[in-house]
Amino acid sequence: MTEVATGPSTEIEELQTKGINVIRALGLDGPRAADSGHQGTAMALAPLAHVLFTRILTYDAADPAWPDRDRFILSAGHASILHYSMLYLTGQGLELDDLRQFRQWESRTPGHPEAGHTPGIEVTTGPLGQGLANGVGMAATERYLRSSFGEELCDHYTYVIAGDGCLSEGVSHEAGSLAGHLGLGRLIVVYDDNHVTIDGPTELSLSDDAATRFESYGWHVDRIGEVANDLDALTGALERAKAVTDRPSLVVLRSHIGYPSPTLTDDPSTHGLAFDEDDIAAAKTVMGLPADETFWVPDDVLELYREAGRRGRQAREDWEARLAASAKRSLWHTGWERSPTFDVDAVARSFEPGQKLATRKASQACVTAIADANENVIGGSADLTGNTGTKIDDLIQGPASGAGRQIYFGVREHAMGAFLVGAAKHGGVVPFGGTFLVFADYMRPAVRLAAMSEAKCVFVWTHDSVGVGEDGPTHQPVEQLMSLRAIPGLRVIRPGDAVETAGAWKLAMDGDGPTALILSRQDLPVLDSTDAASVAMGAYPVVDAPDPDLILIGTGSELAVCVEAGARLSAAGIATRVVSMPCWEAFEARPAEERHAVIDPSVPRISLEAGVTLGWERYADTCLGVDRFGASAPGSVVLDELGMNVDNVLLAAEELLGRRVRDGTDRPADRRS
């Protein structure tokens, strides 16, 4: 047994002890220099990080993005200085100056790990529990690719460090249950059971037994206890977890936050920036390090970890040789490097003008075409597969097999969202998941991180308005659509009919980052003037007038209403352009002159959308929508009562233009805004 704190007896043990204490010191110095951050967890888990990066993880520091590397996720992302220290020490692209710039403007070491910003960071973590749930998506993706390509091309593990906060958050319960059901044997989570939260000891708010809970989910649970400084015990526990192939593993480690500080060990304040200069000097003295030096990394320690970073080079080169010789290499490269393709024109032509079809049903036709043409598309729904059009005619991913592309997430919307992010950031697949739009609220933390990390996944949200009907306002989204548009980096598409739905899927497959598809429950007419390719423009005329007196802008189910209202207005002598605007983000990416050619700001404009009107003022003079919660009644009745009809558009046009366009028999009691 190698007890780091008590002084090892051999030269290599002495060097390991020194290295671990250097990691601890960096965990003190980085936050102290920033005057911000979390010190205690990085100190306590330094031995675990040492074991992972020198004995367990398969990776090559020279190629942090090697596809068959083991994945490491710090779900307890507040301890980011620990991860950054290991990336620097093992030579994965960070330098010591990056640690000195911890949490500073434009540094590569932000307060919480950010995928795509810092080399070696797999997913963006910080909101607790997200990394653990991302790990479920990564592990499921690894199993699917291993089933498809064999262990010669895909053979790796996903390791997660989670804390009390991660296991307290609801997403960990959803994700843990799903992972146990799927039997993800290559998912290994180390639970840092340090009994500390920001408010104080965990006993203030926790009395459940997390280990027993995960056992009930079907996990292999190993309670290793008070061995946070025992390198051999840590190694043994992780190796035992690797040997369990039929279920995920939870290794429960009792650590002591702030160890080995003589003044602050087990002090809840060390969850944050607790150590002043005297406390740091005292801790460094106990560890045998220079008390008056910061960011001290001696050459022998740096070489110890740089050698560990080179340890996986041969494994990577062997893998590259196997890939080059594999009959499946072309398919492998397609999955990792190319966007899924499908014959969007053929799908769009299958929808006949005048046909009535819900866009969720049109979406199912697109999913079928995409899945038939691309093996790297996986997905499903949170217990609403048929309702949301997310069925793949393929094997089901389940306890017995990882070969299936159809995933049944169960009633676990939040975990589904985080799963998609993890699967996308793993690479090799483009994942999608569906539920009702109102339940996007349950998924928002994962959706936000998908946008932040540019995870290429597709959120399929159906039943998109008060047209849901009889289920009432609890299930009728009004504010969700606009709130999703407020998320930077999320492409939100609300197609107006089946043809535009095909174009929406094409834009989602072609684009980078996440996409939200907003689809109707109710049938909508297939219009004769919509165009799948034009969806990528964000907005385009479906009924044009070269010199319009009025522009009507509609999305989704309201596009057909705008087309009918436009015909009435044109018949009354008001030249009306009707614009479909399925994607604000794509429209805003176009040059101003192109945008103004479609929506001329000098022409009176009316928008119509069955959701809150907040935000539409940037495009319209009069914004018609639903600035209240809905009601329980047939969907067509609710839409009509809330003003999503032709008469309301005509009345708004009269008020905006100061011209009468209707006879007196069809005037509503009042205009709904």
236, 5 contact by CB (below 8 A): no
What's at 362, amino acid-wise? A
584 closest CA partner among 450, 491, 508: 491
List the catalytic residue out of 413, 500, 585, 609: 413
Half-sphere exposure (Cβ direction) of 208: Cα atoms closer than 13 Å: 12
485 closest CA partner among 523, 431, 440: 440
Is 13 tagged catalytic?
A: no
110 closest CA partner among 88, 139, 81: 81
C-alpha to C-alpha distance for 25 and 5, rounded to whole angstroms = 14
653 closest CA partner among 544, 540, 562: 562
Q: Does residue 247 sit in helix, strand or coil?
A: coil
345, 94 contact by CB (below 8 A): no
List residues bridging with 158 in a β-sheet: 71, 187
161, 192 contact by CB (below 8 A): yes
Sequence-ordered list of residues with C-beta below 8 angstroms from that of 207, at least 6 positions apart, any chain: none
554 closest CA partner among 478, 608, 610: 608
Sequence-ordered list of residues with C-beta below 8 angstroms from that of 307, at least 6 positions apart, any chain: none
**Interaxial angle between packed helices 130-149 and 170-182, expressed in degrees from 0 to 180 and rounded to the nearest 10:** 20
C-alpha to C-alpha distance for 535 and 494, rounded to whole angstroms = 10
639, 467 contact by CB (below 8 A): yes
C-alpha to C-alpha distance for 100 and 78, rounded to whole angstroms = 17
φ/ψ of residue 28, rounded to 5: -85, -45
**Interaxial angle between packed helices 11-34 and 299-310, expressed in degrees from 0 to 180 and rounded to the nearest 10:** 100
What's at 415, amino acid-wise? A
C-alpha to C-alpha distance for 471 and 299, rounded to whole angstroms = 67
> Please, what sign has the CA dihedral across residues 351, 354, 356, 360?
positive
φ/ψ of residue 66, rounded to 5: -50, 125
- Retrieve residue 234's tokens: 């840590």
C-alpha to C-alpha distance for 237 and 253, rounded to whole angstroms = 10
164, 76 contact by CB (below 8 A): no
C-alpha to C-alpha distance for 57 and 66, rounded to whole angstroms = 13
C-alpha to C-alpha distance for 249 and 180, rounded to whole angstroms = 9
C-alpha to C-alpha distance for 527 and 354, rounded to whole angstroms = 6
Any alpha helices (H) in 433-532, and if so which ranges?
440-453, 480-485, 498-510
Sequence-ordered list of residues with C-beta below 8 angstroms from that of 205, at least 6 positions apart, any chain: 168, 197, 199
- Give the pairing type, strands 187-192 and 158-163: parallel
192, 253 contact by CB (below 8 A): yes
C-alpha to C-alpha distance for 36 and 32, rounded to whole angstroms = 7
First to last CA, the chain: 73
- Give the pairing type, strands 524-525 and 356-357: antiparallel
C-alpha to C-alpha distance for 183 and 330, rounded to whole angstroms = 30
The secondary structure of residue 462, as a DSSP letter, is E
Question: Active-site positions?
Answer: 413
